[in-house]
């Protein structure tokens, strides 16, 4: 019996591995992801740059929020202290001069008072300006001279004044005054604000407490009207 040789078909080995058609080689996958990686890096750079720029712009705001800046601006202000409502400020200048009137030979002292000027105080310089007040904001100033026309020292003494301020005026009593010798006089300046609407009378009384025994008690008072417009 003859036997026929049967040859079974087989695949020839060509020396190369055959990969499933659905599997992509690693090199191809890497090359396909490069554009996405580059785009991500570019986006990250843009975001970092934007945040850095925003921090630079907002840094002064954060600093001012955490550490408020102190105001170091120098503003010009007046050195003259304004009196409070109706409260006067007295400035005295003792002058060792002889009065124009002759000194009486009597041994008793003789105090008398003269009003020298009525004006206002310049708010910037503090200088006395010889003009009547024109506004409730003006600081009114009254200058008056107190003289000892007698022949002996006065000893301690006082003077009082009535200032025509709002709310019925302001009665002022001076502190104790130093003795005035024969012929000595003292120039006083009383400042006050605000003056009453329409003006009022300013008056001064020397030795208002009656501490000095004078040869003449009739010359211790003086008064003058200070004009002021209605407001």
pLDDT tens series, the chain, 231 aa: 444 454 545 445 555 555 555 555 655 565 666 777 777 777 777 778 777 766 665 565 554 555 554 443 333 333 344 455 555 665 655 555 555 555 555 579 999 999 999 999 999 999 999 999 999 899 999 999 999 999 999 999 999 999 999 888 899 999 999 999 999 999 999 999 999 999 999 999 999 889 999 999 999 999 999 999 877
Contact between 161 and 148 under an 8 Å Cβ cutoff? The reply is no
User: What residues does each domain of the chain span?
Assistant: 25-71, 89-227
pLDDT of residue 43: 79
The domain 89-227 is placed in CATH, from the list 3.90.650.10, 2.60.40.10, 3.40.50.360, 1.20.1110.10, at 2.60.40.10
Among 162, 153, 128, 146, residue whose Cα is nearest residue 213: 153
pLDDT of residue 79: 35
pLDDT of residue 49: 73
CA distance 108 to 141: 32
Tell me which H or E stretch contains 227: strand 221-227
- Token representation of residue 80: 């003259």
Strand (E) positions, 38-197?
89-95, 111-121, 128-129, 139-148, 159-163, 170-173, 185-192
pLDDT of residue 229: 80
CA distance 126 to 138: 12
Tell me which H or E stretch contains 28: helix 26-66
């Amino acid at each position: 019996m003859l036997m026929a040789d049967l040859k079974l078909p087989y695949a020839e080995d060509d020396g190369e591995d055959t990969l499933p058609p659905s599997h992509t080689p690693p090199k191809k996958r890497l090359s396909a992801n490069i554009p996405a990686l580059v785009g991500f890096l570019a986006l990250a750079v843009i975001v970092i740059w934007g945040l850095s720029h925003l921090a630079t712009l907002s840094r002064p705001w954060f600093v001012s929020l955490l550490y408020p800046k102190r105001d170091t601006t120098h503003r010009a202000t007046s050195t003259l202290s304004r009196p409070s409502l109706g409260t006067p400020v007295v400035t005295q200048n003792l002058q060792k001069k002889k009065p124009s009137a002759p000194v009486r030979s009597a041994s008793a002292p003789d105090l008398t008072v003269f009003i020298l000027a009525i004006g206002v105080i310049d708010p910037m310089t503090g200088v006395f300006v010889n003009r009547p007040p024109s506004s409730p904001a003006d600081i009114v100033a009254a200058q008056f001279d107190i003289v000892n026309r007698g022949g002996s020292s006065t000893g301690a003494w006082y003077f009082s004044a009535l200032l025509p301020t709002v709310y019925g005026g302001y009665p002022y009593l001076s502190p104790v005054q130093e003795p005035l010798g024969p012929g000595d006089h003292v120039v006083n300046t009383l400042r006050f604000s605000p003056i009453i609407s329409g003006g009022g009378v300013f008056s001064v009384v020397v030795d208002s407490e009656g501490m000095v025994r004078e040869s003449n008690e009739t010359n211790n008072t003086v008064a003058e009207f200070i004009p002021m417009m209605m407001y």
